[in-house]
Amino acid sequence: MDGAPLRLYVRRPLRQERAHGIRLTVEVPSEIEFVETAVDLVVRQSHHTPVPEKLIEFNLRVALTEALVNAIQYGNNADPEKCVTVCVRESEDEVEVTVTDQGNGFDPACIPDPRTSECLKRPEGRGLFLIQQLVHDLTFNERGNSLCMKLRRA
């Protein structure tokens, strides 16, 4: 393969970004094998925030795994030329994690409820639903290629 091997690119915040609560920005190559490492990194950085450890260790871990897998597989179509950007921001009473891919976006309203009898026995289609259930607040940008998950102090 030509070029440098794919790797995570971690960028520490600039001073003005720190002033806005940004703790970390990670660029994740569009390869599923990087998901676990990226999630570990973000979870570690999100400890010692106002959000309870249990929510960071379980809810954030699972929700971010889902968001990254969706961004890599569906957003970027696993295109090695594209990456997914994860930005972690902390405020007084919450942690906000934004996951942005380089795809065309999607309409979250078009994703069927995986709990219906038609969908229950399907092996796929639960990722977005789990994110919705595990975080306190979930929003998308207009294009649909970036989601923002918020976890708050209990």
Partner 1 sequence: MTFTVEQADNGVTVVSVDGQLIVGNRNEMKEKVNEALEGGNTKFVFDFGSTGYIDSSGLGALVSVSKKVREKGGDLSLAGMNEDLRMLFELTKLDTLFKIYDSTGEAVEAF
Using CB under 8 A, list all residues that contact partner 1. Answer: 32-33, 35-36, 58, 61-62, 65-66, 69, 114-115, 120-127, 129-130, 133
User: Is the Cβ of residue 24 or residue 131 nearer to partner 1 in the bound state?
Assistant: 131
User: Is the Cβ of residue 23 or residue 61 nearer to partner 1 in the bound state?
Assistant: 61
In the complex, the smallest distance separating the C-beta of residue 19 from partner 1, rounded to whole angstroms, is 34
3 state DSSP class of 2? coil
In the complex, the smallest distance separating the C-beta of residue 117 from partner 1, rounded to whole angstroms, is 10
In the complex, the smallest distance separating the C-beta of residue 122 from partner 1, rounded to whole angstroms, is 7
Name residues whose C-beta falls within 8 Å of residue 144's C-beta, 6 or more positions apart in sequence. Answer: 104, 105, 106, 107, 108
Alpha carbon distance 80, 29 (integer Å):
7
Alpha carbon distance 87, 96 (integer Å):
8
